[in-house]
Structure 1
Amino acid sequence: MQHALVERLSSPVPRYTSYPTAPHFNESIGPEVYAQWLGRLAAENRLSLYAHVPYCDRLCWFCACHTKQTLRYEPVEAYLKGLHAEIAAIGTRVSRAVPVTALHFGGGSPTLLRPEDMRALKACLETNFSFAADAEISVEMDPNDLDEARHDALADIGMTRASLGIQDFDPKVQKAINRIQTFEQTRGVVEAARARGVRSVNCDILYGLPHQTLETLAETVLAVLSLAPDRIALFGYAHVPWMKKHQTMIDEAALPGVVARFEQMALAADMLVSAGYEAIGIDHFALPADRLAVAARQGTLRRNFQGYTDDQADALVGLGASSIGQLPEGYIQNMPATGEYLRRVEEGGLAAVRGYALTEEDRARAFVIEKIMCDFGFSFAALAARHPAFSGVIRSEAIGFVAADRDGLARIEGDRFVLTAAGRPFARTVAAVFDAHLASGRGRHSIAV
């Protein structure tokens, strides 16, 4: 019965790091609109920044990020020049009274930057934005890039959270995804970061990879637990070769089926909870004292383009090629192609090419979907207080779903629509019930488990 349920509910749906999702962005939102939105940010707002470095010195075949491989540093230098220009252009449009409370360096591989370039990029950001004294600064790290000089530079830029992509330590799996990374390398990076005062370490594990088995995944989980990270993200591999052509290098015949993926996810999750980690949303785990776990317990957990977060900022500004931002008015995305991105910032400073202006109904449905993804349910009263015009229709949809739900995925508990224990692994599928844009058919998505 469980296997049949998993197979039936594994249809592709969005990951819901935004609502509406990126396939629904359009070209009517460009630099002019973006400049207006930036100018409306005020002192009462809090700002989060995401800086994208779309380069790697190797291309991992599983990766679905916007990045490209380069063995020369010259393209990276040219890109950084453009990134500095965009930072300055946005800085002139955002009031210095708006505090930056979080900064995330992502990629690609931000840690391939030379130490002096890491420091110069952080200095450029500090020149153009006002950072809160306690701003969180997180960096995605590739252990293969790192040496003592880079570790020192990361300490100099004030990194507070180190995020390490591990995926899997099994040599056969690593070869199949072109991600060779030893446990010893990884442990060395964790130790070096902690020796320099980093107070939070996050590790990413993937399930659903080629040649992965329950036994090999369990060994990887045990190895990760020995590092005692503060947070662990347990992601399902998203096989989207129509979007990321390098994924065609992965042998599809070696990929586990949906039932095997579900069993891998369940095994790893059970191991992490048994080790003392608290389950956060659909794919994160954190030690009880970690800020993410505290936010989950307090009902303040959020979800954005980086996944689950305790960041309560009112706006997220994306910097760099392909970056997506979220402002009170809606979403904005930069030009993905690095060459065209550089041309645009050199000519006018802003590289926005598409976005989405939120309607009141979008805001109501975004509230519901985020609550389902973060809290596995939502309050009808809270929905009515925030979005009275659409609370009635959404409440009816929720009641209708429960009435027709033959799988016991959700129920009504007093004022709340709540996912059951059986329904929680399928939170994406349940959230899709409230997605008014999904029926338009724009975009293809990864499977739901």
Structure 2
Amino acid sequence: MTSQAFQRYAEQSVPRYTSYPTAPHFSDAVNADIYQSWLTRLDPELPVSLYLHVPFCRQICWYCGCNMKLASKRAPLKEYTETLKREVVTLADTLPDRMQVSHLHWGGGTPTVLDPDDFEATMTAIRERFDIAEDAELAVECDPRTLAKSMIERIGALGFTRASFGVQEFDPKVQAAINRIQPPDMVKSAVDDLRAAGISGINFDLIYGLPYQTTETLLDTIDICAEMRPNRIALFGYAHVPWMAKKQRMIDAASLPRSAGRVDQASAAAEALQRAGYVAIGLDHFALPEDDMAIALAEGTLRRNFQGYTTDNAQALLGIGATSISRTPEGFTQNISETGAWARNVEEGRLPIARGRALIGQDALRGHVIEALMCLGKVDLHAAAKKFGAPERWYASSAGVLTDLMREGLIDFVAGRLSLTEAGKPLVRVVASAFDEYLSANKARHAVAV
């Protein structure tokens, strides 16, 4: 494959495929009543996972595309956790029985901006209504700039097993350009304190394609991170979407690396992480060989959801909090994003659903194939057809695209078995899009492939 051809594919705008159908296809046709019916049909003998969303941060990062609010006072945070607890009760009362939880993840925003007592009270409310499995993964996203020792001690005492940091980049000029100043010593101190509190799983997030970032600054950042030895490192491409994320208007587009620079940063960083002893997982994750995620990859049980790659194999992911997304065997839902409207619905005893998407037609089949490609880099299309009761050549409409991908050397495709080549692995989102029957009609703007 020529460098020009790779660049052409790398510049394609395609979804990240953390769900299928993707979020732009959610609509208000799926409401609280439909979600309630899906919940009542869950198997009470199988575990679920919980995701709690806290849309507050102490400081605003200009690169962030998340729906968040600035937390300058304690009162709104306390009110928010009170509503979270009410939603936990409403959700639990809707389920067919008291359910076991195999994974629990606090995301945001920055969940650790909450008062430790309020955080613990919410966990108590969950334990009163759900059974937390003994080997459950309890994870929380943190910001080392605002992570207090009192919160570290509390989440350690509560049995949390994993904490995530948004490191992004250590270069001072890049940090100033994204309004996130956090020197390496600050991050190392937080990591050391977390490990001392018994939280052994540490995740770092890095970003390439940031303003004023170069391949050299990113590689320096990786060297510093490797010394701290986090269990997992995610390497994301910055998506500059100022028409959606108004905070990003503070970033000068002229300071961003061009497409060829992004590709160089991504490939050089991936090589450096593997030299440092990390296993490449899917599109953008790396893990130490002994980490559960690397083991899941080797065993073929790796999954993908709205939090990215995961070892979570629960039958459903149930979102709690404003803007959180849920997945059940029958479809997806998303909570109301505006915190006031979300709170009013919860206080009135309703599931605060804004929109969603029911799985219809070949959605489950295509979602299975896309997830297999994103996670494992290979899939047997004929076996998938048999599993979902579809014709063997169900993918006939994609035949032309697959032929082009083979010609370019991105995939091998023999007797229905499709696998990514080394050249195709960085472009897995492009390959996955060949099976997205809604993409051509999708008016949403997505991030570039690399």
Q: Please, what TM-score do these two structures have when normalized by structure 2?
A: 0.97
Distance in structure 2 (CA, Å) of the matches to 1:378 and 1:353: 34
Pick which of 32-41 and 322-331 moved more: 32-41
Cα 1:331–1:4 shift into 2, 3 Å: same
Which residue pairs with 2:370 in the alignment? 369
Match of 1:323 in 2: 324
For the residue of structure 2 that corresponds to 1:392, the secondary structure is coil
Instruction: Give the drift of 1:131.
Output: 1.3
- 2:167 and 2:372 map into 1 onto residues whose CA distance is 29
Contact between 1:115 and 1:153, CA under 8 Å: does it hold in 2? yes
* 1:41-88 Cα deviation digits (max 9, x unpaired): 222322010000000011101111221112112211121121111111
Partner of 1:189: 190
In the TM superposition, what are the counterparts of 1:145-294 in structure 2 within 5 Å? Answer: 145-294=146-295
Distance 1:297 1:398, change over 3 A: farther
Q: Is the 8 A contact 1:45 1:315 kept in 2?
A: no
Structure 1 residues 344-353 or 263-272, which shifts more? 344-353
Q: Is 1:102–2:70 an aligned residue pair?
A: no
**Partners of 1:360 and 1:387 within 8 A in 2:** no
Correspondence for 1:119: 120
What does residue range 320-359 of structure 1 map to in structure 2 within 5 Å? 320-359=321-360
Shift of 1:97: 4.2
Tell me which amino acid in the other structure corresponds to 1:230.
N
Distance in 2, Cα, partners of 1:248 & 1:390: 48
Matches of 2:414 and 2:422 in 1, distance apart? Answer: 14
The amino acid that maps onto 1:186 is V
- Tell me how far apart the structure 2 counterparts of residues 319 and 340 of structure 1 sit (CA, whole Å): 14
- 8 Å Cα contact 2:208-2:266 kept in structure 1: yes
Higher deviation after alignment, 309-318 or 2-11: 2-11
1-structure distance, mates of 2:207, 2:403: 35
Task: Please tell me whether the aligned partners of residues 9 and 430 of structure 2 are also in contact (alpha carbons under 8 angstroms).
Answer: no
RMSD: 1.4
Distance 1:444 1:61 in 2: 20
Task: State the distance in 2 between where 1:391 and 1:304 align.
Answer: 27
Q: Which residue does the alignment assign to 1:37?
A: 38
> What one-letter code is carried by the residue in structure 1 that aligns with 2:200?
R
Q: How does 1:362-401 map to 2 (within 5 A)?
A: 362-394=363-395, 396-397=396-397, 399-401=399-401
Higher mean alpha-carbon deviation, 313-322 vs 236-245, is at 236-245
Consecutive unaligned residues in structure 2, runs of 5 or more: none
| Alpha-carbon distance between aligned partners in 2 of 1:347 and 1:210, rounded to the nearest angstrom | 45
How do 1:50-69 and structure 2 match up within 5 A?
Answer: 50-69=51-70
SS of alignment partner, residue 59 of structure 2: coil
The answer on whether the counterparts of 1:42 and 1:97 sit within 8 Å (CA) in structure 2 is no
Q: Which stretch has the larger CA shift, 306-315 or 385-394?
A: 385-394
Aligned to 1:442: 443
Q: Deviations over 1:199-237 (max 9, x none)?
A: 211111110000001111111000000101111101111
CA distance in 2, matches of 1:336, 1:57: 19
The AA in structure 1 aligned to 2:180 is R
> Is the CA contact (8 Å cut-off) linking 2:279 and 2:288 kept in structure 1?
yes
SS of equivalent residue, structure 1 residue 145: coil
Using the TM superposition, give the Cα deviation of residue 98 of structure 1 relative to its aligned residue in structure 2, in angstroms. 2.5
Aligned residues: 448
What one-letter code is carried by the residue in structure 2 that aligns with 1:260?
Answer: G
Q: Deviations over 1:354-387 (max 9, x none)?
A: 1111014000100111011111120124202212
Distance in 2 of aligned mates of 1:161 and 1:83:
21
Query: Is 1:7–1:258's contact at 8 Å kept on the other side of the alignment?
Result: no
Which residue identity is paired with 2:390?
A: A
For residues 90 and 28 of structure 1, what CA distance do their matches in structure 2 show?
20
Matched residue SS, 1:74: helix
SS at match of 1:341: helix
1:48 equivalent in structure 2 = 49
Please report how far the alpha carbon of residue 4 of structure 1 lies from its aligned counterpart in structure 2 after TM superposition. 4.7
The residue type paired with residue 170 of structure 1 is D
- Residue 314 of structure 1 pairs with residue 306 of structure 2: no
Give yes or no for the alignment of 1:404 onto 2:398.
no
| Structure 2 residue 124 is the aligned partner of structure 1 residue 129 | no
Residue 44 of structure 1: SS of its match in structure 2?
A: coil
Identity %: 45
CA-CA distance at 1:415 after TM superposition: 4.5
Instruction: Give, as a single letter, the amino acid of the residue that structure 2 aligns with 1:190.
Output: V
- Structure 1 counterpart SS, 2:174: helix
Shift in alpha-carbon separation, 1:3–1:223, aligned structure 2, 3 A: farther
Structure 1 CA distance for aligned equivalents of residues 364 and 399 of structure 2: 20
Greater alpha carbon shift after TM alignment, 129-138 vs 216-225: 129-138
CA contact (8 A) 2:24 2:442 kept: no
Contact 1:151–1:193 at 8 Å: present in 2 too? yes
Contact persistence 1:63–1:247 (CA under 8 A): yes
Residue 391 (structure 1) shift: 4.2
Are 2:79 and 1:78 equivalent residues in the alignment? yes
Residue 145 of structure 2 aligns to a residue whose secondary structure is helix
Contact 1:230 1:287 in 2 (8 A): yes
Q: Which whole-Å deviations, capped at 9, do the CAs of 1:30-50 have from their partners, x for residues lacking one?
A: 111111111112223220100
Instruction: Answer with 374-383 or 183-192: which moved more.
Output: 374-383
SS state at 1:308 partner: strand
| Aligned-partner SS, 1:333 | strand
Q: For the Cα contact (< 8 Å) 2:9–2:449, is it kept in 1?
A: no
Cα–Cα, structure 1 residues 371 and 131, in superposed 2: closer, same or farther, change >3 Å? same
Alpha-carbon separation, structure 1, partners of 2:12 and 2:107:
29
Amino acid at match of 2:192: E
